[in-house]
Structure 1
Amino acid sequence: MAFALAGLLLTSAAPTIRYGDGAWATFARGTTCDATSRAARVAADRAEQAYLAISFDRSGNRHGQLAAKLSRPLRPGATVMLSVGNQPFLLAARDRFAWSRGPAQEAAIIAAMRSARSLRIEARSPAGGRFVDSYALDGAPGAIDAAAACAARA
């Protein structure tokens, strides 16, 4: 499953697979490396697949930044909540995308991902209905470690 994510990543450069385990994989593109997974619910043919990435780059601008493409567009002004196990995190968001709010939050999210079994992102669609994108965390710690090590070598 994780290897099918190559076309879903945040940047367009051709990725190189560096690691894969469980629902997660690590991809390298130049000086950027991402630990990534797609949402548990696979999108229908024409729907866009939700995915999540933890990104690292050589310059240090991204050292564990979480970025997610949501399964649906957001209602204007909607909040986006990430829950890792029972730990909630408020994300920044716009359109179909959400991301972490800075290094302290990123470190806390990664620490929570190391001990939790699942992660979910909750928000409201333009019609006002709540939606949830769920992710398995099996393989996430290894993929995150591989992405950090990859960026250090890039």
Structure 2
Amino acid sequence: MERLARPLILAALLAVPAPAAAQRLLHAGANWAAFERSGGVCEAVGRSELQALSGRVQPRAAFAFARDRSRRGELHFLFARPVRPGASAVLSVGQASFLLVTRGNSAWSRGPAQERAILAALRGASEMRVRAAGVGGAISDRYLLAGAPTAIDAAALGCA
């Protein structure tokens, strides 16, 4: 199992867009990693279960926390392609479902109450899946949650 997890961690680390000088690794384990970025933002980042083909966007999820408390678990998904204009995305975590807002090739949580509910739901789940109507067809990305709670806690503490 550890051999399988290492490529996922590496892929999550490589999927992070910020330059290495502008971030500090807080935690890496299983399928998720946590970083502190310049500007007082910490994120727990995981990539979708399926690795994108070379040259394609790797779908990923990130929970963000800010030192100024403007973000306390804001969830952001990056899709491989744009969502159809006007469409929403639905996140399923265990038995709970959450309606997310979308723009372009991204989806976000709707606010602090929803973010707290998502964080609570994922602590008891092994995976989450986000679905949306994409330009050119349906989008469905699955995320394994092994290591997510620890990475999220590390990000939250890193910007506490």
Matched residues in 2 for 1:137 and 1:47: separation? Answer: 23
Report the alpha carbon displacement of residue 73 of structure 1 after superposing the two structures with TM.
1.2
- For 1:59, the equivalent position in structure 2 comes to 68
Contact 2:12–2:32 (CA under 8 A) maintained in structure 1: no
Q: Secondary structure at the match of 2:115?
A: helix
Report the alpha carbon displacement of residue 7 of structure 1 after superposing the two structures with TM.
4.4
Q: Which has the higher contact order (CA 8 A, sep 6+)?
A: 1
Asked if residue 104 in structure 1 is aligned to residue 113 in structure 2, the reply is yes
Asked if residue 37 in structure 1 is aligned to residue 53 in structure 2, the reply is no
Of 71, 81, 104, the residue aligned with 2:80 is 71
Give the counterpart letter for 1:88 in structure 2: S
Matched residues in 2 for 1:98 and 1:138: separation? Answer: 22
Runs of 4+ in 1 over 4 A off after TM superposition: 10-13
Contact 1:75–1:125 (CA under 8 A) maintained in structure 2: yes
- For 1:131, the equivalent position in structure 2 comes to 139
Q: Provide structure 1 residue ranges, at least 5 long, that are not aligned to the other structure.
A: none
Q: Provide structure 2 residue ranges, at least 5 long, that are not aligned to the other structure.
A: 1-7
How many percent identity over aligned positions?
42
User: What is the alpha-carbon root mean square deviation over aligned residues?
Assistant: 1.4
Matched residues in 2 for 1:54 and 1:148: separation? Answer: 9
Asked if residue 8 in structure 1 is aligned to residue 15 in structure 2, the reply is yes
- Give TM-score scaled by structure 1 length: 0.92
